[in-house]
Amino acid sequence: MSVQSETSAPTPTPDGSVTPKPKRSMSRTQKILFFATGWLIVLMPFLFWWNTWFGRHLSDQQLTEYLHDAKKPRHIQHALVQMGERMGRQDKAGRPAPDPAARQWYPDLIRLASDPVDEVRNTDAWVMGLDTSGSGFHEMLLKMLSDPSPMVRGNAALSLVRFGDATGRPQIVALLQPAQISSPADGRVVDSDRPGTAVHHGGLLAKIAPSGSSAPVEIRSPIPGRIRSVSQPGANVTAGSEVAVVDPGTEQVWEALRALYLVGQIDDLAAIRPYERDLPDISNDVRLQAEATEKAIHDRSANE
């Protein structure tokens, strides 16, 4: 027969009933560890968000440091967004009134136009369009029309419209058209996303295993938008053949239509009219802007 130890035996009461043993409570150290762990679970996502949120205010010193932080492109983008806020200010009458203090960083904007990271050049092209009095901005934006990234070319063209320059009109029209992505080599598709999926700039579309190579090649989207079509796993592709088609995102289309409202020509109507259709994937705002843009082009053509 087994004998219960004193530490585990229940305590009898005068009436013969048994009182359950009280549960053991956490020690002070355990409580501290428990609350510290819970606090870290809440704190870590906040710190990540705080360090990556472009709306966080930067001091002048931080802005200078971030603009030169080549190891962290997101720091450069953060600083550029802050520059955009300063340069895009308006007076009480709604007229442009860029912060004069921001001019000390204008040479950095010229320098960053040749940054190796697409996202940095893209943001930089947008920022330079916010102050048409910036020395060298107009000339640099014209050079950026030849950038290898379609997004950078498009943003440079949109910014040039603010200068009253329609040189980038073909690049603006291209923003309305789907991106056709080709395979860089012969091979077989081993993974891909689904048609209809939203994708951001640089988002992964598919992976291809090139012939004679074990390392798959990643196919990424050159624009933000929605996947219209993409080769499915198992499909064989050849170098230069179409792998995916991505329709441009709503914001990109909206900005292009607004610019063509000012500089568009009759030849651009073929690219504009598809957005006048009453379809689920075209927002009402975009449809109305497309109609207004076509009308503006007709009126301008008649006056000319």
Task: Select from 121, 149, 174 the last residue of a domain.
Answer: 174
Question: So what's the pLDDT on residue 153?
Answer: 97
Confidence band, pLDDT 50/70/90 cuts, at residue 281: confident
Residues 238 and 256 in one domain: no
Q: What is the dihedral of CA 145, 150, 152, 153, to 10 degrees?
A: 20
Domain shared by 253 and 232, yes or no: no
Report CA dihedral (41, 46, 47, 49) to the nearest 10 degrees: 130
Same domain, 59 and 156: yes
Q: Do both 231 and 280 map to the same domain?
A: no
- Co-location of 199 and 256 in the same domain: no
User: Would you say residue 192 has pLDDT above 90?
Assistant: yes
Q: What is the pTM of this model?
A: 0.79
Residue with the two structure tokens 């983008």:
77
Please indicate, yes or no, if residue 218 is contained in any of the structural domains.
yes
Q: Tell me, yes or no, whether 16 lies in a domain.
A: no
Domain boundary among 116, 150, 174: 174
* 106 and 128 Cβ atoms separated by less than 8 Å: no
pLDDT of residue 17: 56
Range(s) of the domain holding residue 186:
179-248
Q: Are residue 256 and residue 275 in the same domain, yes or no?
A: yes
Mean pLDDT of the 178-205 span: 94
Structural domains in the chain (count) = 3
If asked whether residues 232 and 254 sit together in one domain, one would say no
| pLDDT tens profile 51-71 | 444 457 788 999 999 999 999
For position 225, which CATH number holds?
2.40.50.100
Euclidean distance between CA atoms 175 and 202, whole angstroms: 16
Written in H, E and C, the secondary structure of the chain is CCCCCCCCCCEECCCCCEECCCCCCCCHHHHHHHHHHHHHHHHHHHHHHHHHCCCCCCCHHHHHHHHCCCCCHHHHHHHHHHHHHHHCCECCCCCECCCHHHHHHHHHHHHHCCCCCHHHHHHHHHHHCCCCCCCCHHHHHHHHHHCCCHHHHHHHHHHHHHCCCCCCHHHHHHCCCCEEEECCCCEEEEEECCCCCEECCCCEEEEEEECCCCCCEEEECCCCEEEEEECCCCCEECCCCEEEEEEECHHHHHHHHHHHHHHCCHHHHHHHHHHHCCCCCCCHHHHHHHHHHHHHHHHHHHHC
Evaluate whether residue 12 is within a structural domain: no
User: Looking at the domain assignment, is residue 5 inside a domain?
Assistant: no
Residue 7 inside a domain? The answer is: no
Q: Does residue 239 fall inside a structural domain? A: yes
User: In this structure, are residues 266 and 297 in contact, taking their beta carbons and an 8 Å threshold?
Assistant: yes
77 with 122, same domain: the answer is yes
Do residues 122 and 204 share a domain? no
**Which of 150, 142, 149, 132 has its CA nearest to residue 167?**
142
Q: Which of 248, 263, 293 is the last residue of a domain?
A: 248
Nearest in space to 168 (alpha carbons), one of 83, 268, 81, 251: 268
The pLDDT score that the predictor gives to residue 91 is 76
Residue indicated by tokens 């499915």: 232
Does residue 131 sit within a domain? yes
Q: CATH number, domain at 91?
A: 1.25.10
Burial class (CB in 10 A: 0-12, 13-18, 19+), 75: buried
CA 200 to chain CA centroid, nearest Å: 6
- Residues 203, 151: one domain? no
Instruction: Give domain status of residue 20, yes or no.
Output: no
83-134 pLDDT, tens per residue? 999 998 887 777 888 889 999 999 999 999 999 999 999 999 999 999 999 9
Which has the higher per-residue pLDDT, 98 or 13?
98
pLDDT band at 235 (very low <50, low <70, confident <90, very high): very high
Is the same domain home to 190 and 224? yes
> In this model, does residue 44 exceed pLDDT 60?
no
- The two tokens of residue 242 are 């179409």
Q: What is the mean pLDDT of the chain?
A: 87
**Same domain, yes or no, for 243 and 257?**
no
Region label for 81, one of left (φ > 0), alpha (ψ between -120 and 50) or beta (otherwise): alpha
